[in-house]
Structure 1
């Protein structure tokens, strides 16, 4: 055994051994419980970043742990390989998107292997291959057969920078989710998937997702946006048309003083003569903080009181919600109030508080419940009762109907770009829209294209693709040239992993065994994009008889971001961390300004290259730091000192084994960890008892992993174990057997977090086989019983409380116990705490002001 921790040699050795022996490969095993662990697959952008490292390390710990716990674990990886960046790179660098993508995949795969991730690479999927995207096309055809895929002309979200359409979910605060350019409205023929057909089920089933973060469920519920209300028709004066509105506040209908319609409304062009003003409003439509409108010169008639009210076109009214037209009640809706004040429109109070009148003129809208006034026969009714009474009246008189509305709109999947799945549709002048027959799938994406990024699909100019024959009549026909939104690719990939690549895409028995995913891991930024679409596709596949379940992901972990402070030089703008030394720019020597800690990003150069970290410290160090620095769901602040600390810990582990390696291989410790060695040892209450220590460590680490994946505290327990035994020198054979038993179990506990060094030290300790294949050690409750110590709490140097606590708690845990103590609370209540100083295993000193 080498004396020094040579992580480069060790890590390469075990990565090769794992691949050669195919230890991560898994097949169905009906005799064992299954566990499907999945991290969101990456876009092959060229290099993994620290966010990837953290995400995949979290998943790898879970997969390895569950495997040791006796589960048959499916842990696959693939590539979300279609998309705009490849096409834009092709345009910029003159390289084909396929070449760019596959080269990136090759490099990124080598990086993932270097991280020691336990993936079954036989199951690798790459979404830009015909073998994969033929099934995108097959699913599309099934949706088309069921009326869930359709084509229509509509105003769409257009990103001028990406030169393509965006789904509603891809527009964030009026900007493109990818490049942050302002989104415009453009009228195009588009293909849509009818996700709204599943709106109610998607909403109801949120209640079943008990393993999901509540913040994600709240985002999905809000995006689906169920509202119960009334649709009412307002006749348009001088036209045989009506404006149909949807309102959840029929009790305010007597307070309508104007109407607003969306710039995209079908009647907008006919009602508004000022086309330039209409064009301006359309540009402002995705900027809700700017409330702009134009008066059409037309009027609508309130069907309940006969009043004539002006019709305006307003940028804050969206076609995606309701009917694209609203009745505006400025006295009781703040948005309408601001619009009315801006344009000098009337404000009429029809709801007042129960116990007082409103002071007019109003300074803001009164949006609470109250009593109806100025509302004809309904005046005097409490507004809650008035909602029902007015709604009933509207239905009885045939003026409208009660209805349920959803904010969710159908998913526009047409993209005017090349690098995506061709939509399998043919247009024939004789037969109309004709789906490509299943036996002709896949419709292959041609390679000989001229990429311009000018806003229309280049497939239109590839004659051998575009020109075809109608499969029905045999006449000349044209193919659809739009490609699918790449979120289609990721809406079912988790099902594809269940079958090996050479098998059929939907092997029902294998899907039944593996699905649903037990633990899914990825960023919260996908809460109303990928996660909602994946739920929709799962329900579609269920209705097609392919999957026997309703939801794809049992548990969801949304890991926090990896963050770091940024550095800025007055001469060289943003600097990489390695360009700063002693607070100065290495290029010009000027002092740099240090920015706040925020998400790592290429634009601000506050990034750390995983390759450089692995080269300097090794994979196991990088894994241990990212898992130790913060709980998985919290943001992680990058710290060079923290990385150094993780490296010192692993060197210490290595040194511990090296110190005893000469006799470790000679001692037999083939004993269950619960073996009771002697009454003397069991009766011993010393905290240095190795047997008790390892049982406490097994228990703590196991519970930390089982309870919300608290890997940071689990690693802290392992560090405490090393500190306790580092200077221990077993002398007798009995002591050596116990020590080796403890060390073996410690290495098993360490292995999910730092698998390479654990494998190496396992063998150097005289053990056989892979440590990954060892069972997770159980613990004896009696042996794991915590030793209690007395904790003294001082406030400004005076003893104010004493309590018994378990030995071995972290400083953070001890401080929390001290601050939560009732006696302590009495002394610090209302006072400013200046400092809290824990002294390991003895006391906590609290310094307060005054």
Structure 2
């Protein structure tokens, strides 16, 4: 068994010793600059992360071998509240957190308790991540390593500069906005601050204040809706009789009202500019059977009981519009049948029976009541058919919004999409409606372990991604960028359009203080948008720090402006040297590095970062840098599951990246992950499959080691040798094209599996041969194959390169290119012909149960059929083909035969056609075919066995077995 671990350690040490991946400026080479989202270090990286980081390394290695000067740097992200939240939970001995860090992440107990200080968490996992990346064989330029937050002052000064530039342009503003909020810790929450709920939307509910008058007191029941226009069709109200409701005094600015809402709603509303005073608490059943007034129509409608009303969703008060809401229709029909329930609440069943549906919207393809029709169409039996009702709701709401026309005055004839906003605005102006922000899913949990709420905050700092001029520049940049896969472009375009103000600072967590308001700390998704520019100078910054020659406080705005925004100036460099203490020549080199490496060629990350980081990355670049420095491409990848299940730290269903390497070896892990999925599709890690791949890689290693003992020569090649070299050319071409497009799965298929399969076939075809031509062919294959595999399995490739006598590192060797004289499509067609024939004969024997057969007669197509096929391939049309063929007198004699053949060829679309000498191919391969089949092979016998001869088609011989 090959000792992969020893090989990996050997080459990792050599790469680091020789600084193999620390590029300098080289004007003789084209540059290639690729980065990947730096990892957030709240724990170990798992095999899902492994894919995100292996892809850019494979591409970086590929481009290096193509002759590019490649920069692939790495840094660590520690900004934000998650790490602080972990420290707090460990401090309070939270069992779940202790389980994750002690049992899943395997942190030694004596180190675990030091995690009460978040700095220790950061130090531990930064060291672990660096070790993992080195063990994975990532070709990272470690001289540029850094980490975020004020714990690394030079980078913190860079972030200060970025925010000063944004503020100067009016793109960082102070204002009022709704945010996700941790009510216990008291901080806004970004995507990275959540354990659950990153994708949960914030919905903007209109609260329509239905009026309940009791004993001279006016009380409002604010019904929450996303469709305010349907208030004209309300037939009743729904409350949950078992839920706890509260009567509250609501103070909002100068206005004071009494509302009835669920207890949960009162708590949530208290975060949304409303002062709440609870006056009374009761069960919903207290109000069942009472009547309220619709503030728009002034109709009196009854309050009915409904278990389906979730008190934890919006206000817990729901208006019923059965003509246009499938859930309301189903619930109303159910309650009509439940006389006992109505009697329990002293409601006359006739009242409910007489409720008439109100039709509001004209919709092509539906009658008066779309909700009723859609429910019937989907076979809804009642309100418990939740899945069908959700689908019906989706269908009706979408159709009515996009195609519906309102038919109630004063909005008659207007499209529903327009009426929705007009009604909401009119009710707000009259004071009969309010609004409430609510999550589309209640499971939004912060990394502090608390359930989030939506809070309206004042004096919050925002990045104004809604700025129209800024959006226009972002659109321009996106239009000129490459996106892999291209299908993701529309998502980027959509996000770019709806993106608006985003809270960019908070008062807790690690980070860089806002330079003009240091009580606030810049949050994690806002300090990670242009750090790719910082990488270009970080090598020099790190060196100055090591030498004790850097005062970060002197890295002022003037310094960063010059490096990143201005033209070269000796005078400016001298002035900056005096102010910063950095030697003039070093400032000049930093400026040169930025101008050389920028723009960034590729940004890589997983698809969950499209709605935030990757889009922010575009915005911030166009806001700060000159157009020639805007980024050129984004590559998006998918996620990973473990044995078919989503990975979860809390459930222990996680495979750490480093553990996968320990168990299987880095090259096995790399090749396995790269072979599983293309672009943004997801992959599933299966241990059994990894084990099988390891054996195949060992076979690869043994084969190349064997072929390394052979020598190339000028010996005359047989057709099968030429076939293998032609196929090798195809592998080079296929792998190269796939890697240029980040299609790693296809690249692995070409570079590994196809070559392996072709080699197996070649060894079968040449069994018993041991001549100079074969050995030379295999030596040529070894030299190409090991280079094709170098981006995927770099450690093994280095070891084999040495065995092959290659100079230097294979990581820096030349990527193979197709050899012109190896191309031979005819030989490939002939070999495919033989393969297909063998498979066909095997299938005939199996189906016809001819296991005892002794010989096979093979008949090739007659010359006239080839002529017809060539004409059909050219004309691709029956009429045109017949016309051309019939110019030949001999063909005219065949009449119907020719017509039938053309019809068959057209039907089978035999257009991609190239002629081969079938008889020659069969004759040369006769011994091999006989050996493979255990039959005597007779080619084009005079005798027409079984009348098969006439069935022969070009590239499809007729076969008779006896």
Q: Which one of 518, 524, 530 corresponds to residue 607 of structure 2?
A: 524
Cα distance in 2 between the residues matched to 1:558 and 1:749:
22
Structure 2 match to 1:686: 720
State the Cα deviation string for residues 359-398 of structure 1 (Å, max 9, x = none): 599687864457857534765x4x55x87799999999x9
Structure 1 match to 2:127: 106
Structure 2 match to 1:192: none
Bigger proportion of residues as helix: 2
Is 1:496 the counterpart of 2:534 in the alignment?
yes
State the Cα deviation string for residues 46-100 of structure 1 (Å, max 9, x = none): 4332223222222211111122223232211111122334324444234432233
Is 1:165 the counterpart of 2:187 in the alignment?
yes
Is 1:350 the counterpart of 2:360 in the alignment?
yes
Is 1:280 the counterpart of 2:265 in the alignment?
yes
Cα distance in 2 between the residues matched to 1:394 and 1:178:
35
Q: Which one of 394, 400, 408 corresponds to residue 375 of structure 1?
A: 408
Is the CA contact (8 Å cut-off) linking 1:158 and 1:164 kept in structure 2?
Answer: yes
- Shift in Å at residue 744 of structure 1? 1.1
Q: Aligned runs of 1:246-645 on 2, under 5 Å?
A: 267=252, 270=255, 272-274=257-259, 277=262, 280-283=265-268, 331-332=323-324, 348-353=358-363, 357-358=367-368, 367=397, 368=399, 375-376=408-409, 379=412, 381=413, 384=415, 408-424=499-515, 435=516, 480=519, 482-502=520-540, 507-508=564-565, 510-511=593-594, 513-538=596-621, 542-545=622-625, 548=628, 552=631, 554-564=633-643, 597-631=644-678, 633-645=680-692
Is 1:647 the counterpart of 2:694 in the alignment?
yes
State the Cα deviation string for residues 442-497 of structure 1 (Å, max 9, x = none): xxxxxxxxxxxxxxxxxxxxxxxxxxxxxxxxxxxxx51x4232112222223322
Cα distance in 1 between the residues matched to 2:650 and 2:300:
54
Is the CA contact (8 Å cut-off) linking 1:730 and 1:739 kept in structure 2?
Answer: no
- Relative to 1, partners in 2 of residues 1:356 and 1:20: Cα closer, same or farther, differing over 3 Å? closer
Is 1:121 the counterpart of 2:142 in the alignment?
yes
- Relative to 1, partners in 2 of residues 1:112 and 1:721: Cα closer, same or farther, differing over 3 Å? farther
State the Cα deviation string for residues 658-691 of structure 1 (Å, max 9, x = none): 3354555xx6x8xxxxxxx57x53xx43267553
- Relative to 1, partners in 2 of residues 1:774 and 1:259: Cα closer, same or farther, differing over 3 Å? farther
Q: Which moved more, 1:684-693 or 1:649-658?
A: 684-693
Structure 1 match to 2:884: none
Cα distance in 1 between the residues matched to 2:250 and 2:607:
33
- Relative to 1, partners in 2 of residues 1:105 and 1:553: Cα closer, same or farther, differing over 3 Å? farther
- Shift in Å at residue 255 of structure 1? 5.6
- Shift in Å at residue 626 of structure 1? 2.2
Cα distance in 1 between the residues matched to 2:180 and 2:791:
45
- Relative to 1, partners in 2 of residues 1:378 and 1:661: Cα closer, same or farther, differing over 3 Å? closer
- Shift in Å at residue 10 of structure 1? 2.0
- Shift in Å at residue 327 of structure 1? 12
Cα distance in 2 between the residues matched to 1:796 and 1:160:
75
Q: What runs of 5+ residues in structure 2 fail to find an aligned partner?
A: 91-112, 213-222, 239-247, 272-283, 303-308, 336-344, 346-351, 376-392, 431-465, 469-493, 542-558, 566-590, 849-858, 862-905, 910-931, 934-962
Partner secondary structure for residue 520 of structure 1: strand
Q: Which one of 38, 46, 51 corresponds to residue 48 of structure 2?
A: 51
Structure 2 match to 1:144: 167
State the Cα deviation string for residues 302-351 of structure 1 (Å, max 9, x = none): 6xx999999xx9989989xxxxxx99977546689899999999964222
- Relative to 1, partners in 2 of residues 1:108 and 1:250: Cα closer, same or farther, differing over 3 Å? closer
Is the CA contact (8 Å cut-off) linking 1:155 and 1:264 kept in structure 2?
Answer: no
Partner secondary structure for residue 739 of structure 2: helix
Structure 1 match to 2:729: 695
- Relative to 1, partners in 2 of residues 1:535 and 1:372: Cα closer, same or farther, differing over 3 Å? closer
Cα distance in 2 between the residues matched to 1:502 and 1:740:
44
The alignment's C-alpha RMSD in Å is: 5.7
- Shift in Å at residue 748 of structure 1? 0.7
State the Cα deviation string for residues 244-267 of structure 1 (Å, max 9, x = none): x9999999786689999xx99994
Partner secondary structure for residue 719 of structure 2: coil
TM-score using structure 2 length: 0.54
- Relative to 1, partners in 2 of residues 1:153 and 1:723: Cα closer, same or farther, differing over 3 Å? same
- Relative to 1, partners in 2 of residues 1:546 and 1:782: Cα closer, same or farther, differing over 3 Å? same
Is 1:766 the counterpart of 2:805 in the alignment?
yes
Is 1:743 the counterpart of 2:782 in the alignment?
yes
Cα distance in 1 between the residues matched to 2:73 and 2:769:
43
Is the CA contact (8 Å cut-off) linking 1:654 and 1:761 kept in structure 2?
Answer: yes
Is 1:178 the counterpart of 2:191 in the alignment?
no
Is the CA contact (8 Å cut-off) linking 2:293 and 2:301 kept in structure 1?
Answer: yes
- Shift in Å at residue 750 of structure 1? 1.2
Partner secondary structure for residue 10 of structure 1: helix
Structure 2 match to 1:464: none
Aligned residues: 635
Is 1:17 the counterpart of 2:97 in the alignment?
no
- Shift in Å at residue 101 of structure 1? 1.0
- Shift in Å at residue 619 of structure 1? 1.8
Q: What runs of 5+ residues in structure 1 fail to find an aligned partner?
A: 171-175, 184-218, 238-244, 287-291, 320-325, 425-434, 437-478, 565-596, 670-676, 805-820, 825-840, 843-850
Cα distance in 1 between the residues matched to 2:732 and 2:11:
25
- Shift in Å at residue 763 of structure 1? 1.5
- Relative to 1, partners in 2 of residues 1:235 and 1:599: Cα closer, same or farther, differing over 3 Å? closer
- Shift in Å at residue 116 of structure 1? 1.1
- Shift in Å at residue 148 of structure 1? 3.1
Cα distance in 2 between the residues matched to 1:117 and 1:528:
27
Structure 2 match to 1:459: none
Cα distance in 1 between the residues matched to 2:120 and 2:684:
36
Cα distance in 2 between the residues matched to 1:712 and 1:58:
12
Cα distance in 2 between the residues matched to 1:421 and 1:306:
55
Cα distance in 1 between the residues matched to 2:784 and 2:356:
77
Partner secondary structure for residue 497 of structure 1: helix
- Shift in Å at residue 356 of structure 1? 7.1
Q: Which moved more, 1:704-713 or 1:343-352?
A: 343-352
State the Cα deviation string for residues 417-464 of structure 1 (Å, max 9, x = none): 23222233xxxxxxxxxx26xxxxxxxxxxxxxxxxxxxxxxxxxxxx
Larger gyration radius, structure 1 or structure 2: 2
TM-score using structure 1 length: 0.60
State the Cα deviation string for residues 102-155 of structure 1 (Å, max 9, x = none): 232122212211111111112223113122122323333333334433344666
Q: Which one of 157, 169, 180 corresponds to residue 134 of structure 1?
A: 157
- Relative to 1, partners in 2 of residues 1:64 and 1:698: Cα closer, same or farther, differing over 3 Å? same
Q: Which one of 738, 749, 759 corresponds to residue 713 of structure 1?
A: 749
State the Cα deviation string for residues 486-528 of structure 1 (Å, max 9, x = none): 1122222233223334356653465565445433333222232
Cα distance in 2 between the residues matched to 1:724 and 1:13:
34
Is the CA contact (8 Å cut-off) linking 1:521 and 1:559 kept in structure 2?
Answer: no
Is 1:66 the counterpart of 2:123 in the alignment?
no
Is the CA contact (8 Å cut-off) linking 2:52 and 2:637 kept in structure 1?
Answer: no
Cα distance in 2 between the residues matched to 1:413 and 1:273:
36
Is the CA contact (8 Å cut-off) linking 1:516 and 1:553 kept in structure 2?
Answer: yes
- Shift in Å at residue 769 of structure 1? 1.5
Is the CA contact (8 Å cut-off) linking 1:79 and 1:105 kept in structure 2?
Answer: yes
Structure 1 match to 2:897: none
Cα distance in 2 between the residues matched to 1:362 and 1:627:
50
Is the CA contact (8 Å cut-off) linking 1:420 and 1:483 kept in structure 2?
Answer: yes
Partner secondary structure for residue 607 of structure 1: coil
Cα distance in 1 between the residues matched to 2:526 and 2:78:
12
- Relative to 1, partners in 2 of residues 1:659 and 1:275: Cα closer, same or farther, differing over 3 Å? same
Q: Which moved more, 1:102-111 or 1:630-639?
A: 630-639
